[in-house]
């Protein structure tokens, strides 16, 4: 579906992370993959994918972490949130709402 940088301005590290998830996107074409620079030391990720329906939340993570661990360490350490949700879960998730409307940080 799409890989989207939702940062206030284009961010090279967010783009590196989104690029690392190209393989996931290829195997899950309906997935919406989003990244957002939350502050100078925090990047948040959200994947909304109907293929996650029926999967235990913990079973959703290994495929993603395998791809993210390929990133350079200085990029990887900035990932502070990873949301893996079905479209229905995304509508009701407080964390997903926070992703869409982040509370500003003092950092």
Average pLDDT of the chain to the nearest whole number: 94
Give the separation between CA 100 and CA 53, rounded to whole angstroms.
Answer: 21
Of 21-25, 34-38, 52-56, 100-104, least confident by mean pLDDT is 100-104
Which residues are within 8 A (CB) of 32 and not within 5 positions of it... i.e. 6 or more apart?
A: 1, 2, 4, 46, 47, 48, 49
pLDDT in tens, 46-68: 999 999 999 999 999 999 999 99
Could you tell me the domains of the chain? Answer: 2-100 (3.30.300.90)
Res. 23: pLDDT tops 70: yes
Q: What's the pTM?
A: 0.92
Closest CA to 28 of 5, 48, 47, 51: 51
Summarised one tens digit per residue, pLDDT across range 67-99 is: 999 999 999 999 999 999 999 999 999 999 999
Rg (CA), the chain: 13
């Amino acid at each position: 579906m799409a890989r989207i940088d939702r940062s206030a301005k284009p961010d090279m590290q967010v783009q590196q992370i989104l690029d690392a998830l190209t393989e996931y996107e290829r195997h899950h074409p309906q997935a919406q993959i989003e990244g957002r620079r939350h502050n100078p030391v925090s990047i948040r990720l959200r994947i909304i994918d109907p293929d996650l329906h029926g999967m235990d939340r913990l079973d959703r993570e290994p495929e993603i972490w395998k791809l993210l661990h390929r990133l350079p360490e200085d990029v990887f350490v900035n990932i502070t949130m990873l949301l893996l949700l079905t479209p229905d879960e995304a509508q009701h998730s407080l964390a997903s709402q926070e992703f869409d409307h982040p509370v500003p940080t003092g950092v």
